[in-house]
Chains A and B, each alone.
Chain A
């Protein structure tokens, strides 16, 4: 046990170490991160060596030099008390940065410690922490600080310590979440089983995980600390004996009419430091995300992309009898691709051609990832972001949908081509009633009044087999079951009297018993409305039940196509045959079956 358990620990630790050193090195190559780091380093150096660099005592007032202009003894001039601005600026850098760091240190010690304890041991400590945090956050930070200032006096260290307490929930939450996430990881269990003590686990494994997020948080909070500290001093609530950027700003503000130039230096110092802290934190986070495997973004240059449509031509079965129904949809050489961050295109559909005649049911079958849903979406021109039709045509009623403008496409969708999605629960807007989601498209596409649309919606809800149309109409999506939601979506698809319905695996997400009902409903509606259907499925039962014609898809290509009856009788492509074999394997009948018996078996299974 300990033998096998001890292995993951060093691996994970080593990975983390590798990732960290990577991030450090990458941060230096990240231009904004590097600039921010340089600015912050310079600020810290100025703060540390303020004694050596400052030409004068920052607090030494000289009546003769009041508001002296820059130059001579005062390179940056003198303030309202005749104190040297450059010297004050250097010492202010020291105290402002130290004050902010002090607050962040206090916040980190309190927040990280309590976060570790609450996350690692949980129980009562956790609930107490939640309460304390909600009390701390019941007031604006400034108001708490002002109240504290009324008692503790103007000391920058005491005030910033109080501010550290106010900031501590940020560290608490961060650590707590990370610890809860990590404590159930395999390698922590392994370490515990291997006899490593709690303290050692926390120190070695958990702290190493939260270290980088804590640094990011600290950078952001230090910026807030500088802002708040300067703000308090600006209000005149700070210790006037300690030079800070806020003190300088306050002094300059009181003399804004005589010497507005005095505002520049403290403002610049505050803005520069705050921005650098934020940029540093952001750069560090970006690099961490990148190290975690997020690819680096490059702009695409895909206009010259040549699609790859190579591959064997599909097996085409002959028509069994003459079909004089006119062609409604003809997809020809369709290539769908997704732009990649590296500038390339990932092809998911590689030259698909298929036709759907008026009133015909065409099954598009294949395993998941074969590109059938992508084909369906590109006919509707509703591909996810980044996806596009790279080549080919989609002829529908004399128009090429692949090259139609979006505004013309809007007129086709719903009214001419409708869509039934796969997953019923995620395909209804959770914030609107089911009724309003049916009424809105009808008023838009059919131009009918709201009252008329409502009447039609209620009739449709009854037609698709919902027992209480009025109740469903007024329900929100989370108040109905998956099967009911799918009936609602079917009602929506037929509501605008489209000529073609694209149904994307309409039964896959449903319970087996509900599946049969939905298929019955689809079959009834299709024969009542004489609507053409392109049904995407991975289930030969569905095909056998509904389809006149089948296209079998594999790896973004159609491998076999023809009348359903003919393909069921004699599948010729090896992939089609393996799909049949797969059905027979998990089917009820295990014995050897003649080809001619296939169809009946499958039909029975799916319909009942």
Chain B
């Protein structure tokens, strides 16, 4: 097990290195006169040259890249060009907010998606059609559209929730819950649709397996076989979909955070890209890629737990 995790971690680190290197080179190759962009059109040529030297932009790209990698390994991603705040500080203060939102959404998605999928697989007929319609709508309608709709109905018209604002999870759980309910709802509908249709399909497939009949022939009720045996076997494919959905939610959170004015990574991402603040953008790329790598490893471990065949090897 440990060897398995170590090997996945190594592969993850390599992927992380390749992806961030590619991002670094493409970002700097694509960027124009950075010092001029920062200082604006009114700056003199000397000021621009001084700024470029201060940022190290007068060095060749390869030298800057090696320097960046060297610092990045020690956890130093430089400072924002505009606020001079260290990149690590700018990101970590907001990472917890986004993660609490995305992980909360993932939990809701897994629970509701599985319940809907099992329901559709068991009852078929009307339940099945309902889940299929929800799947189409959830897949088709963008999350931020749902978010805008929810704000209008539940915050502005009904007044059940505050339209904007955020309470840290560490400050107050009920406060956090009341501020993330609508965002989680908006983010989760699309993901629930994906999980529900996956679970529905794999439960229907698994119920056709020979061993389901044999277990039932031993005197186990259909529900017991379904919830203990079928669901565990159907869980593997659903987990793979959940991993993909998590990556999508990380992106979706950026837009939803703007709608609900949640101080997560979203505003940082939008501001830094709009201004072309490359050190901050690079920090975000590395952090999200690292999260994706970790999530994939966690999912693989969970998958190994569900499916003994995937455990060793």
Binding site for B on A (CB under 8 A): 134-135, 137-143, 146-152, 220, 223, 226-227, 230-231, 234-237, 249, 253, 256-257, 260, 263, 267, 270-271, 274-275, 277-279, 282, 377, 380, 382, 384-385, 406-407, 410-411, 413-415, 417-419, 421, 423, 426-432, 437, 440-441, 444-445, 476, 478, 489, 492, 495-496
Whether B270 is near chain A, meaning CB under 8 Å from some CB there, is: yes
Partner of B213, one of A249, A377, A410: A377
Are A150 and B219 in contact, with the CB atoms below 8 A?
Answer: no
Least CB distance, A264 to chain B, in whole angstroms: 10
Are A278 and B281 in contact, with the CB atoms below 8 A?
Answer: no
Are B284 and A441 in contact, with the CB atoms below 8 A?
Answer: no
Are B259 and A139 in contact, with the CB atoms below 8 A?
Answer: no
How many contacts between A and B, using CB within 8 angstroms?
A: 210
Are A444 and B220 in contact, with the CB atoms below 8 A?
Answer: yes
Interface hub of B211, B272, B284 (most chain A Cβ within 10 A): B211
Which residues of A sit under 8 angstroms from B23, Cβ to Cβ?
A: 147
CA distance A115 to B215 in the complex (A): 44
Least CB distance, A336 to chain B, in whole angstroms: 15
Can you add 18 more A-B contacts, CB < 8 Å, to A139-B288, A151-B26, A253-B148?
A139-B292, A142-B251, A143-B285, A147-B27, A152-B30, A231-B144, A234-B255, A234-B258, A235-B254, A270-B141, A271-B141, A271-B145, A382-B216, A410-B219, A410-B221, A426-B209, A428-B214, A444-B219
Q: Return the CB mask of B260-279 against A: 1 if under 8 Å, else 0.
A: 00000000011011111110
CA distance A384 to B216 in the complex (A): 12
Are B142 and A231 in contact, with the CB atoms below 8 A?
Answer: yes
Interface hub of A134, A143, A253, A415 (most chain B Cβ within 10 A): A143
Pick 22 A–B contacts, CB within 8 A, sort by A: A138-B289, A139-B19, A139-B289, A140-B292, A143-B285, A150-B277, A150-B281, A151-B31, A263-B152, A267-B145, A270-B141, A275-B140, A380-B217, A382-B213, A385-B208, A407-B221, A429-B215, A430-B308, A445-B219, A476-B308, A478-B309, A492-B214
Are A235 and B19 in contact, with the CB atoms below 8 A?
Answer: no
Least CB distance, B89 to chain A, in whole angstroms: 20
CA distance A414 to B15 in the complex (A): 52
Least CB distance, A414 to chain B, in whole angstroms: 3
Partner of B251, one of A141, A236, A406: A141
Using A382-B213, A431-B229, A492-B218 as known contacts, say yes or no to A151 and B276 having CB atoms under 8 A apart.
yes
Task: For the complex of A and B, list the 10 residue pairs with the smallest distance between their C-beta atoms, beginning with the closest.
Answer: A414-B219, A142-B251, A140-B251, A151-B30, A419-B217, A441-B218, A227-B142, A445-B219, A274-B140, A278-B140
Partner of B309, one of A237, A256, A282, A476: A476
Are B140 and A406 in contact, with the CB atoms below 8 A?
Answer: no
Using A143-B251, A410-B219, A492-B218 as known contacts, say yes or no to A260 and B274 having CB atoms under 8 A apart.
no
Least CB distance, B135 to chain A, in whole angstroms: 9
Are B308 and A142 in contact, with the CB atoms below 8 A?
Answer: no
Whether B168 is near chain A, meaning CB under 8 Å from some CB there, is: no
Partner of A140, one of B229, B247, B306: B247
Least CB distance, A258 to chain B, in whole angstroms: 12
Using A143-B284, A231-B255 as known contacts, say yes or no to A423 and B210 having CB atoms under 8 A apart.
yes
Which residues of A sit under 8 angstroms from B215, Cβ to Cβ?
A: 429, 437, 441
Q: Return the CB mask of B128-140 against A: 1 if under 8 Å, else 0.
A: 0000000011011
Question: Considering only CB atoms and an 8 Å cut-off, how many residues of chain B contact the other chain?
Answer: 72
Are A431 and B254 in contact, with the CB atoms below 8 A?
Answer: no
Whether B252 is near chain A, meaning CB under 8 Å from some CB there, is: yes
Which residues of A sit under 8 angstroms from B284, Cβ to Cβ?
A: 143, 146-147
Which residues of A sit under 8 angstroms from B273, Cβ to Cβ?
A: 146-147, 149-150, 237
Are B250 and A421 in contact, with the CB atoms below 8 A?
Answer: no
Are A444 and B307 in contact, with the CB atoms below 8 A?
Answer: no
Whether B53 is near chain A, meaning CB under 8 Å from some CB there, is: no
CA distance A440 to B250 in the complex (A): 41
Chain B at the A interface: SS class: helix
Least CB distance, A247 to chain B, in whole angstroms: 14
Whether B61 is near chain A, meaning CB under 8 Å from some CB there, is: no
CA distance A428 to B289 in the complex (A): 40
CA distance A282 to B211 in the complex (A): 33
CA distance A413 to B254 in the complex (A): 54
Which residues of A sit under 8 angstroms from B152, Cβ to Cβ?
A: 256, 260, 263
CA distance A415 to B216 in the complex (A): 11
Whether B156 is near chain A, meaning CB under 8 Å from some CB there, is: yes
CA distance A142 to B151 in the complex (A): 23
Which residues of A sit under 8 angstroms from B141, Cβ to Cβ?
A: 270-271, 274-275
Which residues of B sit under 8 angstroms from A152, Cβ to Cβ?
A: 30
Which residues of A sit under 8 angstroms from B288, Cβ to Cβ?
A: 139-140, 143
